[in-house]
Amino acid sequence: MPGRTLLAFFRRDALIHTSYKVGFFVDLTGVFFTAATYYFVSRVFGSAASPFLDKYGGDYFAFVLIGVAFAAYQNVGLNSFSQSLRQEQFLNTLEPLLMTPVNTPRFLVGSSLWDFLYATVRVALYLILGAAFFGFRMTHARVGPALAVLVLTLFAFMGLGVFAASFIMRFKRGNPVTWFMEAASNLLGGVFFPLTALPLGLQKAALLIPMTHALEGLRKTLLMGAGWKDVSPQLTALALFILVMWPIGIFVFGRALRRARADGSLGHY
């Protein structure tokens, strides 16, 4: 049954990651230090950013905390599928696995479940620690629209991840999709600073980055209490990314998989 297969993947990855208890604890502890770093950065430089932050409430720490926390989903979406493929290739289990009744879509989804749950734990930890120690508040948050933006964000990043995984399947090393999207999102996605601080040309280019619409929608709903109508442009943009990237990703990945099977390089790394 599909549900049992997905649960088996999830349990396997959860046991592997939590078995390294020191590393697991240190990784989660790092969330506090990252949040603290941006808090003190905001105290030093936040006043310089205030003129650009009026529509987000004027608080740079709240702005950047949302950006850093939810950027985790892009990292998972872009890297989870590729890392799973690399791991299976390294262990020489990819070819036998894909010869079982576990089809490719189920393998990709199942191998990413733990990563997305762990990213969600980290996001929640960022928000909790920010509220507990650094004065972060979401008193006007609208949960429904925020969840809608988040769900579409996850699917948009997963579509990019499937596309990125095709490069690993075909070329084994090097992933230009991941490199480009992470670099572009850091500059144009509004993770660390508002887009209004950029030149007009770069502001227009930023509209081609899913992260831009994801963080804009999340900040509006979580910090300013924006409703469904207010975030409809962001929801529409993310839906368009999903409609475009998923078919492209599945098509390119399918071709890469068939090519790897044909030349016998499926299990190579």
Ordered by start, the domain boundaries in the chain are 2-263
Quickly count: other Cβ atoms within 10 Å of residue 97's Cβ: 14
pLDDT computed for residue 1 by the predictor: 52
pLDDT computed for residue 213 by the predictor: 93
pLDDT computed for residue 21 by the predictor: 73
SS3 for 180-200 is HHHHHHHHHCCCCCCHHHCCH
Cβ atoms of residues 181 and 77 within 8 Å: no
Give the DSSP per-residue string, 33-64: HHHHHHHHHHHHHHHHHGGG-GGGTS-HHHHH
Query: Given its phi and psi angles, is residue 58 left (phi above 0), alpha (psi -120 to 50 degrees) or beta?
Result: left
pLDDT computed for residue 96 by the predictor: 62
pLDDT computed for residue 175 by the predictor: 67
pLDDT computed for residue 55 by the predictor: 82
Backbone angles phi, psi at 104, to 5 degrees: -65, -50
Cβ atoms of residues 89 and 267 within 8 Å: yes
What whole-number distance in Å separates Cα of residue 216 and Cα of residue 226? 11
Residue ranges of the chain with per-residue pLDDT less than 70? 1-2, 85-105, 170-175, 260-269
The secondary structure element, H or E, covering residue 90 is helix 60-90
> In sequence order, which residues have a C-beta less than 8 Å from that of residue 160 and are 6 or more positions away?
77, 78, 177, 181, 210, 245, 249
What whole-number distance in Å separates Cα of residue 108 and Cα of residue 114? 12
Quickly count: other Cβ atoms within 10 Å of residue 133's Cβ: 12
pTM score, whole prediction: 0.84
pLDDT computed for residue 239 by the predictor: 95
pLDDT computed for residue 181 by the predictor: 81
